[in-house]
Amino acid sequence: MLNQLEKEKKTEAKNGVLPTQVARFHLEKGKFPESMKPQMRDYLFDLNQVLRQAVPQTISTVIAYVPQHWENAHEEIELYAFGRFRSHYRVIDKLADIFAKPYVKSAILPRVNPVSSVEWAQAAKHNGTVKRNIEKNGLVIYER
């Protein structure tokens, strides 16, 4: 498992910048948007905890993004799941199971957007939408 993670990081590094280097905020480093409400912060910490317990094998990083401003984030939140996978459906299905408990507790259901290493390489190279969104309002909530 450690070798796979090292290979992933080397591949992503070869492709350019890592998603965590682009993100504006980072949950575990204590860098939050000032306008984020405590309920949303608690919810994101809950997501971090369930991801740490589940340790999804094909997902290396999860970054939260709010299309508007963090102060207006209530039920609408997007999660970019980065990693090495072939099927977007399987990633969404796996994360849906993992996020069931936090959903019951908070009634916030995130929209999961899987981003493969190939898709990220293209987005980083061409300054794609995913990269711009993360630079603008991205918050790293999980990093393997």
> pLDDT per residue over 91-141, tens digit each?
999 999 999 989 888 888 888 999 999 999 999 999 999 999 999 889 999
Global pTM reads 0.84
Write the CB contacts of 34 (distance below 8 Å, at least 6 apart in sequence).
none
Cβ pair 24, 139 in contact under 8 A: yes
86: tokens are 């072939």
The runs of H, that is alpha helices, within the chain are 2-14, 19-22, 38-54, 88-98, 100-106, 117-125, 129-137
> Among the CATH numbers 3.30.300, 1.10.10, 1.20.930, 1.10.260, which is that of 2-12+19-143?
3.30.300
Q: What pLDDT shows up at residue 5?
A: 52
Q: What pLDDT shows up at residue 63?
A: 95
Tens of pLDDT, residues 12-42: 445 578 999 999 999 999 898 888 888 888 9
Cα 54 off chain centre by: 15
Query: For residue 77, what pLDDT band results from cuts at 50, 70 and 90?
Result: confident
Please state, as a whole number, how many other Cβ atoms lie within 10 Å of the Cβ of residue 76: 13
Does position 73 have pLDDT exceeding 70, yes or no? no
Pairwise CA distance, residues 34 & 15, whole Å: 32
Does position 10 have pLDDT exceeding 60, yes or no? no
Greater confidence (36 vs 79) lies with 79
Q: How many Cα atoms within 13 Å fall on the side-chain side of residue 8?
A: 21
Pairwise CA distance, residues 15 & 30, whole Å: 28
Q: What pLDDT shows up at residue 71?
A: 67
